[in-house]
């Protein structure tokens, strides 16, 4: 009898404490493998495995490329590499980022849906935006189960709220109660798995960094008119199970919320760069005007000083825009290395 013996867990902001609580409550005889993706910077230190190893009775460590799944262990994704399931073993992949992340929760969840079908249990914990929602939809579509941390219990409710709205999971509960639930679910029989969709197969190939799939002329969806923040290629709009997603030719994928956040960040960076350039140009024009005055070149001095005034007006407009966005609660970020004004 096939059981639901593969648990995939995704978390982002606020996820470390939630993961410690979850792993700490699992029984030592858990007849399932637990695979974990926490969104971390690509240059981050992989300390999560050690943290989870100390949290509970199950051994936790970084996943090794090509290893087979074994019950009673916790395998953690490595920074800057996707964790991908293939049949009953795990792979590392340097494939395209999803929602700006590698490793990405959706990549693990989607690969679990394809590889083990109804044997998968997907768990979405604390995090911002909507990462994990599309992956949990894929798991549910292949007969797997969905478990989501109660948004009221999460430090950041974005991921749980999005997963609930998109995937309609069977279970929504505080993280302290999830270990007991998982201990029951992984002992239940897995039903027959529905066939995988062509889209799931294609996205799995992209996660595996299959060059034929990435470079092919066939694309799901329709051109969106938006540019990919990672590579500036055209993003294709994909609608599946009521969800909208975007993917470019080389495989970078974005949810609407993540795309909007990335566009906002890029716009902020561009505005700060423009402000710095304008203020530097104004300062140089004023200096040149003053030097021309000292040399007795009145017309040149007037031209440079007028140019300085015009540039200062433009800089003031951008500064006012940035200030108004910050006052309104916008996500304005001042670069650490800026020394403007």
Residue where a domain terminates, one of 185, 211, 233: 185
Whether residue 66 sits in one domain with residue 149:
yes
pLDDT (tens digit per residue) in 132-160: 999 999 999 999 999 999 999 999 999 99
Active-site hit among 106, 130, 131, 153: 131
> SS3 breakdown of the chain: % helix, strand, coil, rounded to 5?
45, 20, 35
Is 335 within a domain? no
Whether residue 264 sits in one domain with residue 181:
no
Say which DSSP state 194 is in: P
- Contact between residue 253 and residue 244 where contact means Cβ atoms under 8 Å apart: no
Active site residue 12: yes
Active site residue 285: no
pLDDT (tens digit per residue) in 19-68: 999 999 999 999 999 999 999 888 766 799 999 999 999 999 999 999 99
CA distance linking residue 131 with residue 136, whole number of Å: 10
What CATH number is attached to the domain comprising 164? Answer: 3.40.50.180
Number of separate domains in the chain: 2
Is 141 within a domain? yes
Quote the pTM value: 0.81
* Domain that residue 115 falls in: 6-185
Is 212 within a domain? no
Active-site hit among 12, 118, 126, 224: 12
Residue where a domain terminates, one of 185, 212, 239: 185
Active site residue 92: no
Query: What letters, b where the CB count within 10 A reaches 16 and e where it falls short, cover 229-246?
Result: bbeeeebbbbebeebebb
Residues 6+ apart with CB under 8 A from 276: 338, 340
Query: How confident is residue 339, by pLDDT bands cut at 50, 70 and 90?
Result: very low
Query: How confident is residue 208, by pLDDT bands cut at 50, 70 and 90?
Result: confident
Whether residue 147 sits in one domain with residue 22:
yes
């Amino acid at each position: 009898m096939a059981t639901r013996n593969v648990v995939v867990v995704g978390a982002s902001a606020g996820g470390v404490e939630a993961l410690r609580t979850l792993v700490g409550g699992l029984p030592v005889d858990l007849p399932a493998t637990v695979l974990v993706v926490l969104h971390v910077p690509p240059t981050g230190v992989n300390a999560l495995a050690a943290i989870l190893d100390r949290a509970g009775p199950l051994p936790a460590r970084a996943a090794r490329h090509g290893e087979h799944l074994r019950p009673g262990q916790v395998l953690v994704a490595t920074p800057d590499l996707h964790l991908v399931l293939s049949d009953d073993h795990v792979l590392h992949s340097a494939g395209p980022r999803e929602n700006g992340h590698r490793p990405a929760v959706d990549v693990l969840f989607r690969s679990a849906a394809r590889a083990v079908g109804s044997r998968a249990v997907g768990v979405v914990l604390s995090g911002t935006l909507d990462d994990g929602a599309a992956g949990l939809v894929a798991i549910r579509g292949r007969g797997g189960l969905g478990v989501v941390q109660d948004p009221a219990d999460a430090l950041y409710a974005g991921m749980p709220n999005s997963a609930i709205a998109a995937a309609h999971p069977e279970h929504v509960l505080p993280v302290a109660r999830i270990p007991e639930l998982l201990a029951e679910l992984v002992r239940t029989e897995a039903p027959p798995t529905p066939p995988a969709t062509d889209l799931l197969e294609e996205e799995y190939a992209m996660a595996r960094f299959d060059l034929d799939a990435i470079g092919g002329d066939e694309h799901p969806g329709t051109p969106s008119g938006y540019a990919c923040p990672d590579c500036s290629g055209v993003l294709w709009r994909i609608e599946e199970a009521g969800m909208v997603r975007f993917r470019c030719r080389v495989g970078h994928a974005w949810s609407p919320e993540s795309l909007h956040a990335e566009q906002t960040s890029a716009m902020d960076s561009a505005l700060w760069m423009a402000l710095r350039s304008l203020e530097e140009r104004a300062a140089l024009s004023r200096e040149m005007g003053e030097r021309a005055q000292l040399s007795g070149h009145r017309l040149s001095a007037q031209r440079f000083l007028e140019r300085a005034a015009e540039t200062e007006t433009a800089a003031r407009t951008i500064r006012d825009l940035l200030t108004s966005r910050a006052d309104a609660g916008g996500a304005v970020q001042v670069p650490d290395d800026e020394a403007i004004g």
